[in-house]
Amino acid sequence: MPERGADLVVEALVAAGVRQLFSLSGNQILSLYDATIGSGIRIIHTRHEAAAVHMADAWGRLTEEPGVALVTAGPGHLNALSALYGALMSESPVVLLSGASPLGQAGRGAFQEMDQAAAAAPVTKAAWMASKAERLSEDIAIALDLAKSGRPGPVHVSLPGDLLEHEVEGSQDRLPAIHRPPIPVANADLRRLLELLEASRHPLILTGSAMSRPARGGSVERLSAATGIPSLAMESPRGVNDPWLHMATTYLERADFVLLLGKRLDFAVRFGGPPAFTSACRFVQADWDAEALDGSGRVTLGMVTDPALLAERLADSCGAMSGRWRAWGELIAAARRLVPDEWHTLRRKPGAPIHPLRVSAALQPWLDRGAILVADGGEFGQWIQAGCEADTRLINGPAGSIGSALPMALGARLAHPERTVIAALGDGTFGFHGFELDTALRYDLPVVAIVGNDARWNAEHQLQRQQYGADRAVGCELLPSRYDKLAAALGGHGEYVEEPDDLEPALERAVRSGLPACVNVMIDGLAAPTYRHASPSH
């Protein structure tokens, strides 16, 4: 019997194992909503299209399977694009499906007609508009495969409304599973890499976002265990100044050889130049894509291969170099754990306003018991990233954007319903997606949002102070608003904290409430920590 194009899309998603769509409704995708009825796919409908993409992003990072967002055409599609940039820079497998104006009305000024694929192209691995109802299953299968193959990243497909409503006669052939074998390591490249490694005294591995996650990071851990070579994740927009790296950043200039695994020689590593690295340091870059290899001449050897496969081959080939750099690796690991002595005092600092490290100290016991940490950007987010250690954490990533933490926390709770999820974000950041607490309530997703409230856009305030002077800070002031009352008004749990001793009890009540919660903490608006040029000590 005939099937609509919308039915083919949903059937292809089901066949690929997709069980939820992160979505916000609209005219051009109502047929897809209808097609999900009885399919086993649940629609998690949000309060903003960008939030739907952020949730899909969190799902993708935590499961390594594509998170799928579904939005409507025109303005809905455009609302989603900013969140795609975060997913692109964090190398997260995401598929954005957007309804589109009818293909049969193309070029005639159809309602919300625009070139959606062109708009999405700069923030995706691939973007296209479906052109035939009979090939919608293929469009979906290809998009899902592209999102997770090679360097993971977002993929977009625009779905014209008339194709979704079009009836296709007869049973449709379903595509077999797509299998892309990893790009092998060239033997000549491996030999040259081993020669360069053999000549080094202080080698270092730097990994990009995808290679820093468990699915691929296991191969790096094996290489480090076999050789002792230290490995550092480059996930932060602050790059080599990432506060989470602690004192390890002060040792980068001692590295004489750096292996970039799925990591570009970009702004995050200061393009491989001083003062982060000496001019004598040699770089080898391994990447899935030839386009990602550095063309400045700074890289001694560029390799197009699967970085995880290369790490495995190196671990198997290290031979006489086994364990050679153990002492150096232990030094870097110790520096990564080391924090300034005054931090121990600041974690217990009395009085108001509350120091951000005091907030970190209150969160740490929950993280030690397995809570997932989602930390946004901004100064408060950087303090939390620096002051907390979590087995599982999501951060805003190299894009340097803010606003994603709350919807990403919902995606994390869906991926791990058995675990406590804590989102740490600033007060300015809360304004982006605070109403996703409503989404959390509708879908019984009890996440806890810790809002560091300093009544300002503090990251910009600090930059203006540094660059122009304190008397020329403009456009940074906010009100000390009661975000906790907003959470309570929506039906969640709210806590307001002004004194440090009230932090732990407030957090306990928030978690134990079983509701989406906001703990609104009045903090001292301090600049985030930095370690460059600090003197390492033990």
Q: What is the pLDDT of residues 476-503, one digit of tens each?
A: 999 999 999 999 999 999 999 999 999 9
- CB count within 10 Å of CB 405 equals 35
Residue span(s) of the chain under CATH 3.40.50.970 come to 3-168, 342-522
The CATH architecture to which 187-337 belongs is: 3-Layer(aba) Sandwich (3.40)
Domain covering 342-522 assigned CATH 3.40.50.970 in the classification = yes
Query: 304-339: per-residue pLDDT in tens?
Result: 999 999 999 999 998 888 899 999 999 999 999 999
Where does the pLDDT of residue 534 fall: very low under 50, low under 70, confident under 90, or very high at 90 and above? very low
- CB count within 10 Å of CB 230 equals 24
Is the model's pLDDT at 362 over the cut of 60? yes
Q: Which H or E element spans position 284? A: strand 282-287
The H-assigned helical ranges of 388-521 are 405-415, 427-433, 436-442, 458-468, 483-490, 503-512
Q: What share of the chain is helix, strand, coil (3-state, %, to 5)?
A: 45, 15, 35
Is the model's pLDDT at 418 over the cut of 50? yes
> What's the mean pLDDT in 426-449?
97
Query: 161-205: per-residue pLDDT in tens?
Result: 999 999 998 645 555 556 677 788 999 999 999 999 999 999 999
Homologous superfamily of domain range 3-168: Thiamin diphosphate (ThDP)-binding fold, Pyr/PP domains (3.40.50.970)
Where does the pLDDT of residue 80 fall: very low under 50, low under 70, confident under 90, or very high at 90 and above? very high
Strand partners, 204: 258
At a CB cut-off of 8 Å and minimum separation 6, what does 313 contact? 185, 190
Query: 197-250: per-residue pLDDT in tens?
Result: 999 999 999 999 999 999 999 999 999 999 999 999 999 999 999 999 999 999
Is the model's pLDDT at 533 over the cut of 50? no
- Is the peptide bond prior to 340 cis by the omega test (within 30 degrees of 0)? no
Q: Tokens 């087995």 sit at which residue? A: 391
Is the model's pLDDT at 538 over the cut of 90? no
Asked if residues 405 and 396 have their Cβ atoms less than 8 Å apart, the reply is yes
Is the model's pLDDT at 535 over the cut of 80? no
Percent of the chain, pLDDT > 90? 89
- The per-residue pLDDT of the chain, averaged, comes to 94
Is the model's pLDDT at 107 over the cut of 90? no
Pairing relation of β-strands 372-375 and 421-426? parallel
Query: 25-41: per-residue pLDDT in tens?
Result: 999 999 999 999 999 99
> What's the mean pLDDT in 349-366?
97
d(CA 464, CA 466): 5
Residue span(s) of the chain under CATH 3.40.50.1220 come to 187-337
Among positive and negative, which fits the CA dihedral 464, 468, 470, 474? Answer: negative
pTM: 0.95
